[in-house]
Amino acid sequence: MSEPAYYADILKILEILPHRYPFLMVDRVMAFEAGVRLTAYKNVTVNEPFFQGHFPGKPIMPGVLLLEAMAQAGGVYVGLCLGEALANKLFLFTGLDKVRFRRPVVPGDRLVLTVQNVRNKRHLWKMESTATVDGDIAAEGELTAAVMDRELV
């Protein structure tokens, strides 16, 4: 089954997400189907600031940042589904379940981020997410999040 054609470059992502360097973890959206799924990627380079300390001589992307990349892909998915930027809102984690790390992510990898809608009701969203490199799962889990107005947080 092929992915539905869709393309969003970094400028569109910057319209949707409030994140900025060094914390923006999504480079491009490759596929999007409203109410179903999104596929995006992050190019992991040796220039990432976290590699200076994680780990010297053996750079590995921290697991918590893999989860952040998956969550940001979820934020882009929700923003595209809602048809509005999340700049005046916050996309906040409310839970992580069934999280597993399967392989390290290192400089030079292209991290493919996939989120699939499980359900959403009003401002609450539940998604299954995977992060893969060359078709191998690096991380996976269920993400739950809430979209909140900034002034209410």
Distance CA 72, CA 91 (A): 9
Q: Are 143 and 96 in contact (CB under 8 A)?
A: yes
Selected catalytic residue, list 12, 19, 28, 54: 54
Residue of 124, 121, 125, 105 whose CA lies nearest to 41: 105
SS3 112: strand
CA 100, distance to chain mean position in Å, is 16
Query: Is-catalytic flag, 54?
Result: yes
Query: Which residues are part of the catalytic machinery?
Result: 54
